[in-house]
């Protein structure tokens, strides 16, 4: 693979670790997660559920670590992250990418923070006794903070596809495909939903535990397909919901167990009615209870496509008479006074990296080209086709062969086993026979191994990786 050499030239001193984003394209509240920066490089050399050389083995190690892959294909079994300070670089899997047919999760109450995950597909099996429907999430990160999920594919959750439970905070989910939550399991559970960020209520039914803050979450440039609601559902802010496409869902933004007065940007999203249900009443569903009166929303350039009912951009829904004639606010007391009058909220002072914003008229085409884990598998390709053809249903779509259309390739030559191919090291002035130069600081400020995996991800999305071959 002839990856582009990425040199971010600095006119000042070398950027410090504290100033670096997770990777150049990271944005939002999770954009400063360092993952495994300055740690060891661990290679996944087999697709086993456990044991030496497996992904689980690499995650079981403590300390900062960057995980790369010498294999591609399907890992069958749950994957547990017991320790934070980790980067999972799925973009390095040669050829077919990585699919986890299981759950990817952290333990509730554990100090598992600072996680970067890119280009991984998570597709759990149906609920069972160990993962009942009410707890059956594809990705479940509890009481964790400083997390970024980038170009991740998640499907087949029976509760939510992604759940940040227990006050998890400082999170970004970006450029990800969140599709096909399970609609109807054997027990009649119909809970096909997208993303939940929830601050828990305590045993005394109070919901104000500041030690589990939640919020500080950015959900941007994602594609939600066939999720009834929670696209996303957030219990607390500050939060930025921006440039997402929601297809064949019923409700757009959901407030869930609202526990504090906070601020929410809802900008540049596109809501598209599908074959399964009408959008109405789609705008808000606070569920329970009504939001505190000091909660404020800024809404701008949200495009609704519901043929025969409403087609157009909604900025302030409280002043859009045509919109109000067709849609009502569901459930609980959201009032016009909660619309912020002064413009979108600036969250940069609260640790968020500004999010590149696109027009809602352009966002569908952009996500069709770039969203999700690459290469796209049969589930991802089908979900994109559903959007393009305005087809598909709420159902339990689960292909028999998740490897259909994917090709496993050998890994590139890496003589010193440091996670960087010889060809890339030669191009970038490193020694392909020195296994300790992966933490060399490059002109960009990133370490050499970060520079390599970042370049792979950038090339993969632009499809250069497949034009040039994988070495």
The CA distance from 259 to 298, in Å, is 19
- Per-residue confidence at 467, pLDDT binned at 50, 70, 90? very low
pLDDT digits (tens, 9 = 90+) for 233-275: 887 789 999 999 999 887 666 655 565 568 889 999 999 988 8
Tokens of 211: 């030690």
Of the ranges 213-227, 386-400, 407-421, which is most confident?
407-421
Instruction: Tell me the angle at which helices 363-370 and 378-389 cross, rounded to the nearest 10 degrees.
Output: 160
Does residue 341 surpass a pLDDT of 80?
A: no
**For position 141, what pLDDT does the model report?**
87
pTM: 0.89
**For position 153, what pLDDT does the model report?**
97
Q: In the chain, how long is the greatest CA-to-CA distance?
A: 69
Tell me what the mean pLDDT of segment 29-37 comes to: 98
- Per-residue confidence at 354, pLDDT binned at 50, 70, 90? very high
Does residue 323 surpass a pLDDT of 70?
A: no
Does residue 52 surpass a pLDDT of 80?
A: yes
- Per-residue confidence at 185, pLDDT binned at 50, 70, 90? low
Fold classification of 17-389 is Pectate Lyase C-like (2.160.20)
**For position 131, what pLDDT does the model report?**
54
Domain positions in the chain = 17-389
pLDDT digits (tens, 9 = 90+) for 199-211: 444 444 444 445 5
- Per-residue confidence at 385, pLDDT binned at 50, 70, 90? very high
């Amino acid at each position: 693979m002839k990856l582009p050499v990425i040199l971010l030239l600095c006119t000042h001193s070398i950027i410090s670790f504290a100033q670096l984003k997770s990777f150049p394209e990271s944005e939002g509240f999770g954009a400063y997660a360092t993952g495994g920066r300055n740690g060891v490089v661990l290679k996944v050399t087999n697709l086993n559920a456990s044991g030496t050389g497996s992904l689980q083995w690499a995650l079981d190690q403590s300390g900062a670590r960057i995980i790369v892959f010498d294999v591609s294909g399907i890992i069958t079994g749950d994957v547990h992250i017991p320790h934070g300070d980790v980067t999972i670089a799925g973009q390095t899997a040669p050829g077919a990418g990585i699919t986890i047919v299981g759950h990817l999760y952290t333990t509730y109450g554990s100090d598992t923070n600072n996680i970067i995950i890119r280009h991984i597909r998570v597709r759990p099996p149906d609920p069972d006794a160990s993962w009942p429907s009410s707890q059956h999430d594809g990705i479940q990160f509890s009481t964790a903070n400083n997390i970024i999920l980038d170009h991740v594919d998640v499907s087949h959750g029976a509760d939510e596809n992604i759940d940040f439970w227990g006050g998890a905070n400082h999170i970004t989910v970006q450029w990800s495909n969140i599709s096909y939550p399970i609609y109807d399991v054997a027990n009649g559970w119909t809970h096909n939903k997208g993303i939940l960020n929830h601050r828990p209520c305590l045993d005394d039914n109070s919901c104000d535990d500041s030690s589990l803050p939640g919020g500080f979450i950015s959900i941007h440039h994602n594609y939600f397909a066939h999720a009834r609601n929670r696209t996303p559902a957030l219990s607390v802010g500050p939060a930025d919901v921006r440039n997402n496409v929601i297809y064949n869902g019923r409700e757009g933004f959901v407030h869930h167990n609202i526990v504090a007065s906070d601020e929410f940007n809802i900008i540049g999203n596109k809501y598209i009615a599908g074959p399964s249900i009408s959008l109405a009443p789609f705008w808000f569903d606070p569920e329970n209870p009504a939001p505190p009166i000091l909660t404020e929303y800024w809404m701008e350039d949200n495009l609704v496509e519901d043929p025969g009912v409403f087609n157009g951009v909604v900025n302030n829904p409280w002043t859009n008479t045509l919109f109000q004639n067709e849609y009502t606010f569901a459930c609980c007391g959201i009032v016009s006074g909660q619309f912020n009058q002064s413009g979108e909220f600036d969250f940069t002072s609260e640790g968020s990296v500004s999010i590149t914003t696109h027009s809602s008229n352009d966002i569908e085409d952009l996500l069709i080209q770039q969203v999700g884990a690459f290469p796209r598998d049969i589930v991802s390709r089908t979900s994109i086709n559903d959007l393009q053809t305005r087809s598909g249903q709420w159902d339990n779509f689960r292909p028999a062969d998740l490897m259909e259309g994917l090709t496993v390739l050998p890994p590139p030559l890496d003589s010193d086993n440091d996670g960087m191919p010889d060809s890339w090291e030669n191009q970038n002035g490193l020694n392909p026979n020195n296994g300790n130069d992966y933490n060399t600081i490059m002109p960009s400020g990133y370490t050499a191994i970060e520079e390599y995996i970042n370049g792979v991800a950038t090339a993969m999305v632009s499809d250069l990786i497949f034009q040039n071959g994988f070495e």
